[in-house]
C-alpha cells in the first residue's frame, strides 16, 4: 500500500458538516463549563491539576516511544530509586519530567504573548534539554524529510509522509493564522487545530505535547 502524504493545501477545510457537529457542540461546552467551575471552586487548583498534568505527560511522551509509567515518574520525583534503574529507564522518566517543565514554560510564555511559532520553539528547547535528540536542533523546524512507519522502514514503506521541510514554515504560518482568526465555534476551531497539529506533529521536529498546547489557545 502506498504511503499517505500530508494533505498540502487542504487546511483549513473549506467546508464542514455542521449538521453533524451541532449536536456535539452543546454537550462539549457544558462539560467544559463544569470543569472550569470545578477548578474555580478550588483554592489551589494546581493540587488537582498536578497529577493530571503528570498523567498527560506520560501519555504524550509515549508517542515518542518512552516506556515510563505514572507510578515510576512520581516515585522518581519523590526521591525513590526505580525498580528498573537502567540508563534507558531514567532517560524515559526524564523525558516525561521535561514534558511537565515544558508545560509550565508554555503557560508562562502565554501570559505575555499569543500562541505562535516562537512559543512552540522556546518550549521545545525546554522539552529537549538533557534527553535523547538534544543534539537535533532543539527549537528548530526539521531540515530533512522524515516519515512514519515500522521501525527501520524505508520511505516507500512508510504509512505517512509529513510535509517537506521546505514547505513546513508556510504551513505552520497557515496553522497560526487559524489560531487567531474568527470562527463559527471555538471548540470546532480547536478541534481543527488539534487534528492539523497531529498531522504536523512528526513533521516539525518539535516534540511538544500537542494536547495541552492546543488547549492553551
Residues 163-205 have pLDDT tens digits of: 888 988 898 899 999 999 999 998 899 889 888 887 765 444 3
Q: Tell me the C-alpha distance between 122 and 23, whole Å.
A: 38
Burial environment of residue 47 by CB neighbours within 10 A (0 to 12, 13 to 18, 19 or more): exposed
What's the structural domain count of the chain? 1
Which domain, by its residues, includes 201?
Answer: 4-10+45-215
Question: Is 30 contained in some domain?
Answer: no
Average pLDDT over the chain, rounded to whole? Answer: 81
CATH number assigned to the domain comprising residue 158: 1.10.3290.10
Residue 66 domain flag: yes
Q: Is residue 122 part of a domain?
A: yes
Query: How does pLDDT run across 122-166, given as a tens digit for each residue?
Result: 888 888 887 776 556 778 888 888 888 887 889 999 888 888 889
84 domain-assigned: yes
Find cell 514554560 and name the residue: 105
Cβ atoms within 10 Å of 114's Cβ, excluding its own = 12
C-alpha cell at 123: 518550549
For the chain, what percentages of helix, strand and coil (3-state, to nearest 5) are there?
55, 0, 40
Q: What is the pTM of this model?
A: 0.76
Q: What is the pLDDT of residues 16-66, one digit of tens each?
A: 999 999 999 999 999 989 988 888 888 887 777 777 777 777 877 776 667
Distance between CA atoms of 202 and 65, rounded to whole angstroms? 13
Amino acid at each position: 500500500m502506498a504511503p499517505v502524504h500530508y494533505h498540502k493545501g487542504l487546511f483549513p477545510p473549506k467546508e464542514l458538516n455542521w449538521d453533524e457537529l451541532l449536536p456535539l457542540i452543546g454537550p462539549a461546552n457544558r462539560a467544559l463549563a463544569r470543569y472550569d467551575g470545578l477548578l474555580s471552586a478550588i483554592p489551589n487548583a494546581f493540587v488537582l491539576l498536578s497529577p493530571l498534568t503528570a498523567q498527560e505527560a506520560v501519555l504524550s511522551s509515549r508517542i515518542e516511544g518512552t516506556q515510563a509509567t505514572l507510578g515510576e515518574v512520581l516515585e522518581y520525583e519523590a526521591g525513590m530509586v526505580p525498580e528498573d534503574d537502567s540508563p534507558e529507564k531514567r532517560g524515559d522518566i526524564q523525558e516525561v519530567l521535561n514534558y511537565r517543565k515544558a508545560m509550565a514554560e508554555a503557560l508562562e510564555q502565554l501570559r505575555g504573548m499569543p500562541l505562535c511559532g516562537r512559543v512552540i520553539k522556546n518550549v521545545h528547547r525546554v522539552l529537549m534539554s538533557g534527553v535523547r535528540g538534544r543534539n537535533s536542533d532543539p527549537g528548530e523546524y526539521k531540515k530533512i524529510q522524515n516519515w512514519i512507519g515500522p521501525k527501520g522502514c524505508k520511505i516507500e514503506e512508510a504509512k505517512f509522509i509529513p510535509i517537506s521541510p521546505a514547505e513546513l514554515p508556510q504551513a505552520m504560518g497557515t496553522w497560526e493564522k487559524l489560531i487567531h482568526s474568527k470562527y463559527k465555534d471555538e471548540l470546532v476551531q480547536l478541534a481543527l487545530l488539534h487534528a492539523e497539529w497531529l498531522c504536523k506533529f512528526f513533521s516539525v521536529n518539535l516534540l511538544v505535547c500537542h494536547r495541552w498546547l492546543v488547549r492553551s489557545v
